[in-house]
């Protein structure tokens, strides 16, 4: 199967899982479900669930077994975007090509929608049952991996560093530290969970970790470049937000050309890390496409 067809297969599985695990019944509190769906089903690149599904596949596992975890991961990522866009945070009005949650539902409901998605991620990861799910030991290990990456030692910790370091001159090491957590932690968790759920070797787990750490930084570097040179129409979100917030980025430290050169080096290193896998062609091209993405 070529890259585009496998990518579409992963995306289709992800979208189906997201819709399958959201609440189905009509509730008195239906407005919160509508707010959850508004952001979760708005599209997006689905980088994290795609990585989880593919790493499970190339590690010898069955993709269907990790679908609840892939859906839970995307719920966590989406909740973080809702909260990131709030007036008390980045105060952004556009996300995934449409008005942000707080612009549509109000700040209070948007906050609750983010909270609800985080809680629902736990319900989905832990509560899914039946013959098409993991054995309890693997499930517990994967869930610990997921929520560890989302918390103070991962995404939340990175967000704190990002906020506290606004309007400060930072070193490259400090910027790397922030984004290894804020952007990279969930990307790394996606890859690791795929390998873990396949019951694969420590060698493959280490290789997946190195690959994901590298492409997580590439993703952020390209984001920084696009924030400077892209348009809101192209990206589906407001541009120039880093400059308005006084953030030190890879671009402010290295320039656009230098930042992209570093991204190319990281991409090459990421692909080299995949050597222990028998079939890494999709993941190699995935890394290449992240490097040249335009949104």
Q: Contact 233/294 with Cβ under 8 angstroms?
A: no
Label residue 231 by pLDDT band (50, 70, 90).
Answer: low
Predicted confidence (pLDDT) per residue in 256-282, tens digit: 999 999 999 999 999 999 999 999 999
Label residue 132 by pLDDT band (50, 70, 90).
Answer: low
Query: Helix 155-164 and helix 184-197: axis angle, to 10°?
Result: 170
- Give the helix ranges, DSSP H, for the chain: 3-21, 30-40, 47-58, 67-85, 101-105, 107-127, 136-150, 155-164, 172-182, 184-197, 202-229, 232-235, 241-245, 250-273, 281-292
pLDDT at 268: 98
Whether the per-residue pLDDT at 27 is higher than 90: the answer is no
pLDDT at 145: 98
Q: Is the dihedral of CA 78, 80, 86, 90 positive or negative?
A: negative
Predicted confidence (pLDDT) per residue in 136-158, tens digit: 889 999 999 999 999 999 999 99
pLDDT at 37: 97
b/e map 91-121, b = 16+ CB within 10 Å: ebebbbeeebbbbebeeebbbbbbebbbebb
Q: Contact 170/183 with Cβ under 8 angstroms?
A: no
Whether the per-residue pLDDT at 215 is higher than 60: the answer is yes
Which CATH superfamily does the domain covering 3-292 fall into? Farnesyl Diphosphate Synthase (1.10.600.10)
Average pLDDT over residues 31-35: 96
Average pLDDT over residues 241-254: 84
pLDDT at 192: 99
pLDDT at 24: 85
What number of residues does the chain have? 295
Whether the per-residue pLDDT at 208 is higher than 90: the answer is yes
**Three-state SS for 176?**
helix
Q: Give the pair of three-digit tokens for residue 145.
A: 């991996």
Give 99's strand partners: 94
Q: Give the pair of three-digit tokens for residue 83.
A: 């909260």
């Amino acid at each position: 199967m070529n890259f585009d067809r496998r990518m579409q297969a992963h995306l289709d599985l992800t979208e189906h899982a997201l819709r399958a695990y959201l609440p189905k019944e009509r509730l008195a509190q239906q407005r919160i479900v509508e707010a959850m769906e508004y952001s979760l089903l708005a599209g997006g690149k689905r980088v994290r669930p795609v990585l989880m599904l593919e790493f499970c596949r190339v590690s010898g596992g069955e993709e269907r077994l990790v679908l609840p975890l892939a859906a839970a991961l995307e719920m966590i990522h989406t909740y973080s975007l809702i909260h990131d866009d709030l007036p008390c945070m980045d105060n952004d009005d556009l996300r995934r090509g449409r008005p942000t949650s707080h612009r549509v539902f109000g700040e209070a409901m948007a906050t609750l929608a983010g909270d609800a998605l985080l809680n629902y991620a736990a319900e989905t990861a832990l509560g899914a049952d039946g013959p098409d799910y993991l054995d309890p030991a693997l499930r517990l290990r994967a869930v610990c991996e997921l929520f560890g990456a989302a918390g103070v030692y991962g995404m939340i910790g990175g967000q704190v560093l990002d906020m506290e370091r606004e309007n400060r001159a930072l070193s490259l090491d400090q910027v790397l530290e922030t984004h290894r957590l804020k952007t990279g932690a969930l990307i790394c968790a996606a890859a690791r969970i795929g390998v873990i759920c396949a019951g694969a070797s420590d060698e493959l787990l280490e290789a997946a970790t190195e690959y994901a750490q590298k492409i997580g930084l590439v993703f952020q570097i390209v984001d920084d470049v696009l924030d400077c040179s892209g348009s809101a129409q192209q990206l589906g979100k407001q541009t120039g937000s880093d400059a308005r917030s006084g953030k030190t980025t890879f671009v402010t430290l290295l320039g656009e050309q230098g930042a992209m050169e570093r991204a190319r080096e990281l991409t090459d290193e990421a692909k080299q890390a995949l050597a222990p896998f028998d079939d890494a062609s999709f993941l190699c091209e995935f890394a290449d496409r992240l490097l040249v993405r335009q949104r």
